[in-house]
Amino acid sequence: MELQKRLPEIFEEFAEGRRNAFIKAKELKDKDIPLIGVFCTYFPQEIALAMGAATVSLCATSDETIADAEQDLPRNLCPLIKSSYGFAKTDKCPFFFFSDLIVGETTCDGKKKMYEYLSDFKPVHVMELPNSQSEVGLQLWKHEIIKLKSTLEEMFDAEISEDDIRKAITIKNNERKALKKFYELGKKEPVAMLGQDIFKVINGTTFSFDKEQIPKQMDELIEKINSEYETEKKYEAKPRILITGCPIGGAAEKVIKAIEDNGAYVVAFENCSVAKAVDELVDEENPDVYDALSRKYLSIGCSCMTPNHNRIKLLNKMIDDYRVDAVIDVILTACHTYSVETLSIKRFVNNEKNIPYMSVETDFSTNDIGQLNTRMAAFIEML
């Protein structure tokens, strides 16, 4: 990526990453490279990478196919689940079409039941995710990772060695370090870029099949941003917002826009779309690669875990590090675990961190954009 390009153009290139990846996915298939379709950050990508397979996030952030999904699924179901199923059923997701195997995890009841129907369209492997981050849960998750390895070896007639897994761990850790170094630019005050652009870049990298190139791309982009920042502080001081809660890719990005259109900046994303997935590394010194992978992935602070201490731990750190003025909790309609958890997050943010908190329930439609703008304007005015 050439540094002489203007930053807005570079950000848009990352935003186009998903569309460009459609073509690359077909190229992978033409080369007989296995493609694994996934939905969640709990998927241990190192296992697929060690086999030489590519991993891609499946289409699940638009209301385009929800009407089709509702012919089979309940209407009062999480839009992410309905979108996931709808794209599979209608064959409108190129990534799903080209995937040789779909891997899901039992993060919530809705998803694990949806996977049963998803297997009508593609081979599906479901990993049994523990309900808690206990030692017993850790052993179960380690067993599930080894089971995934065996499934891939059998399905693709391959051998995944521990040395290959160690190499993959290093590659993924380097990617995590690079992504974290980039989104930590949100700590700058005044801000160096909009939260919308931070999200475009991080989301765009999830559609990059060459994981070893991501650190170089991030270093070039960081250099460009820092260079412009030293010569021009183009963003005035405004309230600094941290977003937590459900994944917000695709249509749900309207929340970021509503915040920044109404007088604030999104400087940090605690949710699994950004920090939750990459904040911690896999321990490269652990001689047991499966134990190392289990500990890293099971540490993710998703609301499907009970109790969910790790979400509070990461929130606490990020609120301080990013000098946050308020927290906005984004909840997808009918996502019961995140919805129930809003009470504990509100108590923590209000009582422990002494800053304002607001929860926002939304879906993948555009029907609530006016309401979002009204609520954000009022909330930010209060700040």
pLDDT tens digits, one per residue of 213-263: 999 999 999 999 999 998 887 899 999 999 999 998 887 899 999 999 999
Q: Which of 256, 244, 236 is nearest to 11 (CA)?
A: 256
pLDDT tens digits, one per residue of 174-197: 999 999 999 999 999 999 999 999
pLDDT the model gives residue 2? 43
pLDDT the model gives residue 77? 97
Position 5 confidence tier, pLDDT thresholds 50, 70, 90: low
Position 3 confidence tier, pLDDT thresholds 50, 70, 90: very low
Position 117 confidence tier, pLDDT thresholds 50, 70, 90: very high
Backbone torsion region of residue 295, taken as left when φ is above 0, otherwise alpha when ψ lies between -120 and 50, otherwise beta: alpha
pLDDT tens digits, one per residue of 48-70: 999 999 999 998 889 999 999 99
pLDDT the model gives residue 1? 42
| Token output for 294 | 């289990």
The mean predicted confidence, pLDDT, of the chain is: 94
Position 18 confidence tier, pLDDT thresholds 50, 70, 90: confident
All structural domains of the chain with their residue ranges: 13-162
Burial of 170 (0-12, 13-18, 19+ CB in 10 A): middle
Sorted by sequence, the CB contacts under 8 Å of residue 124 that are 6+ apart come out as: 101, 102, 103, 104, 115, 118
pLDDT tens digits, one per residue of 321-355: 999 999 999 999 999 999 999 999 999 999 999 99
Higher pLDDT, 162 or 24: 162
Class level of CATH domain 13-162: alpha beta
Q: Taking 90 as the threshold, does the pLDDT of residue 4 lie above it?
A: no
Q: Taking 50 as the threshold, does the pLDDT of residue 289 lie above it?
A: yes
Sorted by sequence, the CB contacts under 8 Å of residue 380 that are 6+ apart come out as: 239, 259, 262, 263, 264
Q: Which of 90, 73, 282 is nearest to 177 (CA)?
A: 282
